[in-house]
């Protein structure tokens, strides 16, 4: 399979970073965008500055109207979860018969239990797709899962700064045992490698989603509530202990789904410390007055706890406090 025409929905930090790499690889890259970002992409192109290197500018197509862009070989969804329902209602013109849809988002996606989870396989998660509109708009056969490990930010509309990390893990939602990689995933991984990314293929992409979530499902909402940096959160013994208890609940849920995490919370905290003191993406969203991704990061874990019969008192407390904080500030 050849991915020549690529459209990215979400010209933010990750979407812009991926788009720049794919443009370098020779793809015809377009963005479904709006507002100041749309204007910047149309007039100044997509600009990326990475690891102290000179800024690079890439000519891309951009429109607020999916019909103007037409059916794509590859559609990358890189929006924050709260925007996904609206996006799903707009993208039909981008989907052809064989279009691959790669989700490059934080948290638990709506398709998480697609062919996965034993007795829960194909169960719809109401926490992330309450009305079923997302699943209806993006048929499951199109989906490939993605997990991004990179730190990027938006300096201004259409201008992306890449700090560190260069990996995007890809995999079929229904799994792909070693030696049985599907052609479309193999071609996608090869494209990302050509674009300069590390692109390992996951045997079960849900495992990689859950492991990434295990680290950021606490740090993000705690920082959003308190305004604290990562170091400030970890330096408080009581708060770090609370986060550890949330993580232990998620670890047990994962185990019942068939996802084993061999680390303890303190192991993951040590990894976070090595990244330095930073503001989480959710805290940045709060400060910018943007909707927060609580349902995908915490609400879905609460729901999966109910489905797997794991008690989640600490997760429930975190979700309730973060949700109330976001509602009071008009962000949920």
Angstrom distance (rounded) from CA 255 to CA 250: 9
The burial of 30, by beta-carbon neighbours within 10 Å (0-12 exposed, 13-18 middle, 19 or more buried), is given as buried
CA distances in angstroms from 17 to 62, 196, 288, 295, listed in the order given: 15, 11, 21, 25
- Give 222-254 as a DSSP string: HHHHH---HHHHHH-HHHHHHHHHHHHHHHHHH
Angstrom distance (rounded) from CA 102 to CA 156: 25
Q: Where are the alpha helices (DSSP H) in 45-132?
A: 66-69, 84-88
Per-residue tokens: 79: 């929006």
196 contact partners, CB below 8 Å, separation of at least 6: 21, 24, 25, 166
Active site residue 212: yes
Residue 89 half-sphere exposure, CB side, CA atoms within 13 Å? 7
Angstrom distance (rounded) from CA 315 to CA 212: 16
Of the candidates 212, 279, 290, 302, the residue annotated as catalytic is 212
Angstrom distance (rounded) from CA 223 to CA 219: 6
170 has which bridge partners? Answer: 146, 201
Residue in the structure block whose two tokens are 């008009």: 330
Q: How many CB atoms lie within 10 A of CB 44?
A: 14
SS3 (DSSP) at 62: strand
Per-residue tokens: 293: 């991704």
Cβ atoms of 166 and 50 within 8 Å: the answer is no
The burial of 50, by beta-carbon neighbours within 10 Å (0-12 exposed, 13-18 middle, 19 or more buried), is given as buried
Give the active site residues: 212
């Amino acid at each position: 399979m050849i991915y020549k025409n690529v459209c990215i929905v979400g010209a933010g930090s990750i979407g812009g970073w991926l788009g720049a790499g794919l443009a370098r690889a020779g793809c015809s890259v377009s963005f479904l965008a709006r507002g100041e970002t749309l204007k910047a992409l149309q007039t100044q192109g997509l600009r990326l500055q990475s690891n102290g290197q000179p800024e690079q500018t890439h000519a891309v197509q951009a429109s607020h109207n999916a019909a103007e862009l037409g059916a794509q070989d590859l559609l990358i969804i890189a929006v924050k979860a709260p925007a996904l329902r609206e996006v799903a209602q707009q993208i039909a013109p981008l989907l052809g018969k064989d279009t691959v849809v790669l989700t490059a988002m934080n948290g638990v996606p709506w398709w998480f239990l697609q062919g996965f989870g034993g007795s829960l396989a194909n169960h719809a998660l109401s926490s992330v797709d309450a009305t079923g509109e997302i699943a209806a708009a993006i048929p499951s056969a199109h989906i490939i899962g993605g997990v991004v490990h990179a730190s990027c930010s938006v300096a201004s509309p259409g201008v992306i700064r890449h700090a560190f990390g260069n990996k995007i893990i890809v995999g079929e939602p229904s799994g792909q045992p070693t030696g049985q990689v599907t052609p479309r995933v193999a071609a996608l991984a090869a494209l990302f490698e050509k674009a300069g990314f590390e692109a390992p293929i996951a045997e079960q992409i849900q495992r990689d989603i859950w492991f990434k979530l295990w680290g950021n499902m606490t740090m993000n909402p705690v920082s959003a509530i308190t305004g604290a940096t990562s170091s400030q959160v970890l330096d408080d013994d009581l708060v770090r202990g609370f986060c550890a208890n949330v993580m232990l609940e998620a670890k047990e849920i994962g185990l019942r789904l068939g996802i084993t995490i061999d680390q303890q919370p303190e192991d993951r905290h040590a990894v976070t410390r090595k990244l330095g003191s930073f503001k989480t993406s959710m805290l940045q969203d709060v400060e910018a007055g943007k909707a927060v991704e609580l349902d995908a990061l915490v609400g879905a874990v609460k729901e999966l706890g109910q489905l797997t019969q794991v008690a989640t008192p600490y997760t429930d407390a975190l979700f309730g406090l973060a949700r109330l904080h976001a509602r009071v500030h008009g962000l949920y």
